[in-house]
Amino acid sequence: MPVLSKRALEGLRTYQYKPAGYTVLDDWHQPFWNWCTELLPRWLAPNLITLTGVFGLTVAYLVSWAYLPSMEGDAPRWVYAGCGLACLAYLHLDCLDGKQARRTSSSSPLGQLFDHGCDALAVHLVVTMLAASISGGFSWQTVAGHMAIMGPWVAAHWEEYHTGVMLYGNGYWGVTEANYLMVAVHLFTAAVGPGFWRWRVADMLHTKAAPWPLRADAHIFDVVLVVISGFAVQQIAGQVWRVFFTRISERMPAAERGHKQLGRPAAARHLSQLLAVLGLCSIALLEACSGGVSQARATLVTAGLAYAVQATKLIMDHMAKEPFEALGWPLALLALNIVCRRAAIPWLAAYVWGVAAIMLVGYLHYITNVIGEICAFLGIACLTIKQAPS
């Protein structure tokens, strides 16, 4: 059964991307990115550039997993450096794919969906590596940190669905700056060691307890959580304000509106579905914190893939100008993970890993079907550039 209807494919064909909110740092990088693009061979497909960046992140993620399965402790310094370099490479490759598409006249809606779909998966990869580099471990702080990054990211695409505009920043701080900050954290850990993040704030300040809003026995990684949470609250507040109170969706042209469900009730319904995804991810991860490392890792994979596929569905519905409904099967798998743990069934680890495996297969099946259907409809290839007939 096809994932995309004929109407959705027709809507996808006429999609127009509207980015905004670029920062000073983005402007400074434009000459460098343009220069890098000119060095690329013209046969190199833009989606292959994106996929190369994801591959680098995946390798760094697996290496970090191998050396830091519990996301705490000490690993060889080169592991942290590798994570930083992989994030740095992804940052720049993610900015070259669109330029290469325009340079080779191969721009298509698939490229935009592929780019942002890969970003959805990359969120899980980079946040997990960041937690390991600052010795967050499997704790409620790590879960909160995950949600503080995953929440605003998917909310940005929720906002794009209802306003038609993808905001990358406020002119001073945005996606590029956030990515550089993560790179800096990894490289700093490689330079001074992960033990820095486990220092008690009170000991550093020579006080009996850490100051508010930190816990009395807070460590440096708790400070990172507070900073991330502050950015998250500020960003989500702006997103909610623009969607619910500026009435931008009411001024959206009919051709851009398509068959979307817009307006405050629809926005609230869509947001509640995304909150349900994040809520189930949080519950599953919090309960996994009290189990073994292997089960916690399996749950983290399940939650990360569930998030990625739901975000991809939201992005696709925006581009196809279709009504958004969260996919039911990822929510069911998250719920199954929670039920298995609460029921304390025998061979729990096998069941939890089984759920993760099913989630992975479902994710791959979904995205490959979507890509295949779009390629067939538009008459293009995903990872190669079709030559125009002479």
Residue numbers annotated as active site? 116
Nearest one of 38, 101, 55 to 386, comparing CA atoms: 101
Residue 283 neighbours by CB under 8 Å, 6+ apart: 338
68: three-class secondary structure by DSSP: coil
What sign results for the dihedral spanned by CA atoms 330, 262, 3, 90?
negative
Q: How many residues does the chain have?
A: 390
Residue 213 neighbours by CB under 8 Å, 6+ apart: 226
> Dihedral, CA atoms, 214, 215, 221, 226, nearest 10 degrees?
-30
Q: Is 161 exposed, middle or buried (0-12, 13-18, 19+ CB in 10 A)?
A: buried
Q: Buried b vs exposed e over 72-85: b needs ≥16 C-beta within 10 Å? A: beebeeebbbbbbb
Nearest one of 80, 155, 160 to 123, comparing CA atoms: 155
